[in-house]
Amino acid sequence: MKIPFATFKPMHDEIRKDLDQAYNKVIDSNYFIQGKECELFEKEFADYCNAKYCVGVATGLDALYLILRAMNIGNGDEVIVPSNTYIATALAVSYCGATPIFVEPELETYNINPALIEEKITDQTKAIIAVHLQGRPADMDAVNEIAKKHNLYVIEDAAQAHGTEYKGQKVGTLSDAAGFSFYPGKNLGALGDGGAVVTNNKEIADKVRALGNYGSDYKYHHIYKGTNSRLDEIQSAFLRCKLPHLDKWNEYRRNVANKYFEGIKNPLIKLPLKDSEDYRHIYHVFVIRCAKRDELEKYLNENGIGTVKHYPIPMHLQEAYKDLNIKEGSLPIAEEISKTVLSIPMYYGMTDEEVNYVIDKLNAFK
Ligand SMILES: *Cc1c(COP(=O)(O)O)cnc(C)c1O
């Protein structure tokens, strides 16, 4: 049996007609940038998140970068980010000229450990980026309390968390502003790159919109040295087809996760923390840990099961960040995660037969 790590096929087969129609509608409209589809998607995604504002941008990385710029964060400033996340979180900080300061996650949740944030706060600290990694919400109450005490901005990196809920509230409105990615592999993915900023703060929304449009507030009038980062009409139209299905697709993933939780019984394999009422997970990925990770990966791949490591090299040990001069051993939890994690197949449309095959193979691993 061959089981991919992920596939879009069941999702796209289900809405194929809508996607075809969307594509034709955009061609016929003669508008490809800054038209009706983007405007409508922004409204629909803001409503979905129960937020006042949504601004479409080109990528998830840009969403974070533009939020930081809108907060006037730049040279000489420090921004706290988790030591275990996709590198885009830190790159957004670097792009605006500030320095990412890594704080270790909790091994159980993979999310930033609020108890370790305060010791990293200095006079230069301007913001904390909390990442809802893997689709599990970070502990936003704890993060917001620290930020309030030290007068810092809070940003959510919600690139893996479309529809994730924390204490009954959708992520995206649990901070000053949130960055979403619509990279195809995310739970809400375009058929290309895309991203959005979600916020209840009008000033941030307006500034992000201007910054992503060459710093322009109206045509040929430029108030900032901005960039070009916009969500195009085709991607907006595709995203509008998908958004109404997102909750159902997320629920499907939660069911697959529950089967994994019930079925995987192998003392060599550590399962992630199950979601709960207060921490509603959307299982963007299902990450297990194993001391013999590389052996396990080889074994699964040989049995036709696709896997990915999220992520194999922590950011502080990447060549790109050697200027930060953070030695191996100084962020042991991020390092432990990089050596032991393995993501197993998780996608909408995964059949019981496929799920059971993965479970059986995992249980047979010695
Ligand atoms: C995907 C991702 C990003 C970046 O999104 P892009 O759209 O690929 O630029 C940022 N942060 C996290 C946690 C991500 O998973």
Determine the pLDDT at residue 14.
97
Pocket test for ligand 1, best of 86, 131, 134 (most atoms within 8 A of CB): 86
CA atoms within 13 A on the CB side of 156: 35
83 lines ligand 1 (CB under 6 A): no
Distance in Å, CA 196 to ligand 1 centroid: 11
CA 29 / ligand 1 centre spacing (Å): 30
Nearest CA to ligand 1 atom 2: 159
- Residue 56: CB atoms within 10 Å: 28
What integer pLDDT is reported at residue 234 of this predicted model? 98
Q: What percent of the chain has pLDDT above 70? A: 100
Using CB atoms within 10 Å of the CB of residue 14, give its burial: 0 to 12 exposed, 13 to 18 middle, 19+ buried. Answer: middle
Which pLDDT does position 268 carry in this prediction? 98
For residue 61 and ligand 1, the question of a CB distance below 6 A is answered with yes
Which ligand 1 atom minimizes the distance to the CA of 194?
7
Over residues 151-174, the mean pLDDT reads 98
Residue 10 Cα to ligand 1 middle (Å): 23
- As a whole number of angstroms, the distance between CA 59 and CA 70 comes to 16
pLDDT digits 0-9 by tens, 52-70: 999 999 999 999 999 999 9
**What pLDDT shows up at residue 72?**
98
Q: How far is the CA of 168 from the centre of ligand 1 (A)?
A: 24
114 close to ligand 1 (CB < 6 Angstrom): no
Task: Report which secondary-structure segment, H or E, holds 212.
Answer: none
- Average pLDDT estimate for 62-86: 98
Read off the pLDDT of residues 177-222 as tens digits, 9 standing for 90 and up. 999 999 999 999 999 999 999 999 999 999 999 999 999 999 999 9
The whole-number pLDDT of residue 130 equals 98
How confident is the prediction for the chain on average, in pLDDT? 98
- Residue 144 Cβ inside 6 Å of ligand 1? The answer reads no
222 to 107, 216, 217, 239: CA distances (angstroms): 46, 4, 6, 30
DSSP classification of residue 284: S
Is the CB of residue 159 below 6 angstroms from any atom belonging to ligand 1? yes
Q: Distance between CA atoms of 128 and 101, rounded to whole angstroms? A: 9
What six digits make up the tokens of 95?
């792009």
pLDDT category at 7 given cuts 50, 70, 90 is: very high
| Opening angle at CA 188, ends 282 and 26, nearest 5 | 165
Q: Where are the alpha helices (DSSP H) in 213-343?
A: 233-242, 246-263, 293-302, 332-340
* CA-wise closest residue to 141 among 150, 154, 151: 154
Q: For residue 279, what pLDDT band results from cuts at 50, 70 and 90? A: very high
Q: Which atom of ligand 1 is nearest to the CA of 193?
A: 7
How far, in Å, CA of 178 to CA of 142, rounded? Answer: 17
- pLDDT tens digits along 88-136: 999 999 999 999 999 999 999 999 999 999 999 999 999 999 999 999 9
Residues 65-90, mean pLDDT to the nearest whole number: 98
Burial class (CB in 10 A: 0-12, 13-18, 19+), 108: exposed
| Inter-residue contact 116 to 104 (CB < 8 Å) | yes
Q: In 3-state terms, what secondary structure has residue 107? A: coil
Q: What is the DSSP string of 75-96?
A: TT-EEEEESSS-THHHHHHHHT
Q: Given pLDDT bands bounded at 50, 70 and 90, which one contains residue 335?
A: very high
Name the residue at shortest CA distance from atom 6 of ligand 1: 60
Ligand 1 touching residue 157 (CB < 6 A): yes
- Model pTM score: 0.98
Instruction: Indicate if ligand 1 lies below 6 Å from the C-beta of 88.
Output: yes
pLDDT reported for residue 32: 97
Question: What's the pLDDT band for 344 if we cut at 50, 70, 90?
Answer: very high
> Which pLDDT value is given to residue 137?
98
* Residue 173: per-residue pLDDT: 96
Rg of the chain over CA atoms, in angstroms? 20
DSSP code for 318 = S
pLDDT of residue 235: 98
Q: What is the pLDDT of residue 311?
A: 95
The answer to whether the CB of 109 is under 6 A from ligand 1 is no
- Give pLDDT tens digits for 219-247: 999 999 999 999 999 999 999 999 999 99
Q: Is 111 in the pocket of ligand 1 (CB under 6 A)?
A: no
Distance CA 7, CA 27 (A): 27
